[in-house]
Structure 1
Amino acid sequence: MISGSRATTRPLTALLSLGLLASLAALALATALAPAPAQAGTGLSWRDLETGSDAQFRGLAPVSRHVAWVSGTEGTVLRTVDGGRHWTDVSPGGDTGDLEFRDIEAWDEQHAVILSIGTGGDSRIYRTADGGRTWKQGFRNHSKEAFYDCVGFWDRRHGLAMSDPVHGKFRTIYTKDGGRSWTKRPAAGMPPALKGEFGFAASGTCLVTAGSSDAWIASGGAAARVFHTTDRGRTWTVTDTPVVRSDAGGVFSLAVRDRRTLVAVGGDFEKPNRSKHTSAFSHDGGATWTAGGDLGGYRSGSAFLPPTAATGRPSTGVIAVGPTGTNVSFDGGVSWKAVHRGAFDAVECTGDGACWASGPDGRVALLDGLKKR
């Protein structure tokens, strides 16, 4: 993948929606097979887990240090309930074998929602309430112009999914029954997209939520902007960020700590080693953005570290991953340190102190060293 734009308007990006460019895939494979030790001073390192799969996992939904779900290419969905020692294939099957499940949200070992990307009917949403033994379709796209990128939830029942612009505006759909059914939010409440602006289905974090009604959408291409709603997608505002913008660049991922504190990461996936203008942060809910420190290259996923054990307060630490490595910030995105040069696509952390990452060639890992901080 990376982006979800239509072939008629962005042929290169549409090609990438079916898989990474060969050069980027080769780079990701090479770095995955030749991991580096932890960078001195961070105390953090990734510990790989054996999944038995060769799928590319851009969808990641850890529930705790024990329970996690991943989703990806070839219609693959896996689940673990023992901290990654064993994985169960809970893929939906049927006519989903060619789908790419780019995003997954989960609440426990039984309940999860997955989103597949693509044009037309390839954009779908399924849900399970029995640990993946059965899946029920809650949504299938029928618009030729829509291409869904990400899904996010405020709680078990209420959530949003977003599509690339349709008739000049990003489209969002809303559920109030846990993904059983979805309705389109009115376009009138969404600011116009710029020509050539779109979203990135790179890690399931181009749409994030906080509190009971706030959500943010990240964009790329002709802009590197962040859209914000405070009323569950009825109305939106939009703000520019300092992140690089280009045909293959922009904001790929948003990390949210609370309703006011966010970090944006991205870059240009055609120039994966370009480090400048790859992050930004906001302390006012996304109304304004400040340029953050330079990352080690293009980054596709990000997450705030778990609350500190000593205080129980939300962490100012942020972790970001991409095809050329992992970086960590202990000051909310102001500065970054290198952790690892292995390839990952997505990263998420849990309330009980675990951080998980997923990526190419069936790769899933746990972050070691958090307890020492």
Structure 2
Amino acid sequence: MLRTIDGGRTWSSVGPADAAALQFRDIEAFDARHAVALTIGSGTDSRIYTTSDGGRSWTRAFQNEDAAAFYDCMTFLDRRHGLALSDPVGGKFRILATRDGGRSWSVLPTTGMPAALDGEFAFAASGTCLVSAGGQAFFATGGGATARVFTSRDLGRSWRVTGTPVPSGPSAGIYSLAYRDPHHGLAVGGDYTVPASAPAGAARTKGRDWLVAAVPPGEYRSGVAWSGPRTAIAVGPTGSDYSPDGGVTWRRFDTGSFDAVACVAHACWASGAQGRVARLTWTH
């Protein structure tokens, strides 16, 4: 795990010492000092760490002890309330919740969770298979017969599920979500084993129903983020794309390989394999 305090000119390693061999896929930062980070994997490889000093020290807040669980991604609805998503256990997706900013976590009951499809799971590619906006939480899936989006309005206790037109399969589906507000969402994905072809790999919603982008990126994308009220960025191993119209059309602007993207106040950062990090520079 890396941290910069000078706009990306220099970076320092700040990861937990006992997690050097684990895969970090999600970090939620509240300010320059406070953050929560998620590692993924089966059994005890799924962990959550917290820091209150900018990464100089970390506390292990959660370690999964269920061999059937695999946590993929995490989101915070505010500084206190957060959720983490596991692939299905016993036929239903599992939700882990915190009410104290990540210091303690508990598994929520699954009575309000719809049954998973055969083979359905979530993708941990960019840490954005579970996101939130306006007090609501959303997560996306693939692997099964249909790529679906689940929505919760009550901090993860109950969920409504909607099918999407994004193709789904053993390695295909929705890899990343981004919501501008509870009504305007973007989804990107495809099949990571066929990265150069995803003709219906991007979709958008203005409420409940999802529509395939009129001009999609056309290739597998693992991360998406809103960069403004109508603009968005999508990234993947074969390039990056820009949408000026809320996800209706996408235009390629870079051919570099990235896995995840995040935008704050019109500043966008992308990350990729082997510690690759880039900052988007806007030109007019």
Separation in 2, partners of 1:367, 1:131: 24
| Deviation by residue 1:137-172 (Cα, 9 ceiling, x = unmatched) | 111101111000000001111100000000000000
Q: How far is the alpha carbon of 1:350 from its aligned partner?
A: 0.3
The answer (yes or no) to whether the contact 1:281–1:334 under 8 Å persists in 2 is yes
Cross-structure match for 1:276: 199
Cross-structure match for 2:241: 327
Cross-structure match for 2:7: 83
Separation in 2, partners of 1:243, 1:275: 9
- Greater helix share, structure number: 1
Structure 1: which 5+ residue stretches go unaligned?
A: 1-76, 307-314
Amino acid in the other structure paired with 1:290: L
Cross-structure match for 2:226: 304
| Deviation by residue 1:75-94 (Cα, 9 ceiling, x = unmatched) | xx111111001111111103
1:149 equivalenced with 2:63 (yes/no)? no
Separation in 2, partners of 1:148, 1:164: 6
1:199 to 119, 122, 125: 122
Amino acid in the other structure paired with 1:147: F
Separation in 1, partners of 2:30, 2:273: 24
1:133 equivalenced with 2:56 (yes/no)? yes
Q: What is the TM-score with the length of structure 2 in the denominator? A: 0.97
Cross-structure match for 2:210: 289
Separation in 2, partners of 1:118, 1:291: 31
Q: How far is the alpha carbon of 1:294 from its aligned partner?
A: 2.1
1:356 equivalenced with 2:269 (yes/no)? yes
Cross-structure match for 1:239: 162
Q: How far is the alpha carbon of 1:296 from its aligned partner?
A: 3.4
- Greater strand share, structure number: 2
Q: What is the TM-score with the length of structure 1 in the denominator? A: 0.74
Cross-structure match for 2:281: 368
Q: How many residues align?
A: 282
The answer (yes or no) to whether the contact 1:78–1:90 under 8 Å persists in 2 is yes
Amino acid in the other structure paired with 1:359: G
Give the share of equivalent positions with the same residue, in percent.
Answer: 54
Q: How far is the alpha carbon of 1:291 from its aligned partner?
A: 1.1
Amino acid in the other structure paired with 1:294: P
Q: Where do 1:51-90 residues align within 5 Å?
A: 77-90=1-14
Amino acid in the other structure paired with 1:355: C
Separation in 1, partners of 2:200, 2:16: 39
1:180 equivalenced with 2:180 (yes/no)? no
Moved over 6 A (4+): none
Q: How far is the alpha carbon of 1:275 from its aligned partner?
A: 2.9
Separation in 2, partners of 1:161, 1:171: 8
Instruction: Tell me how large the CA RMSD over aligned residues is.
Output: 0.9
| Deviation by residue 1:279-324 (Cα, 9 ceiling, x = unmatched) | 110001xx21111132131000000013xxxxxxxx1111100000
Q: Where do 1:211-290 residues align within 5 Å?
A: 211-212=134-135, 214-222=136-144, 223-284=146-207, 287-290=208-211
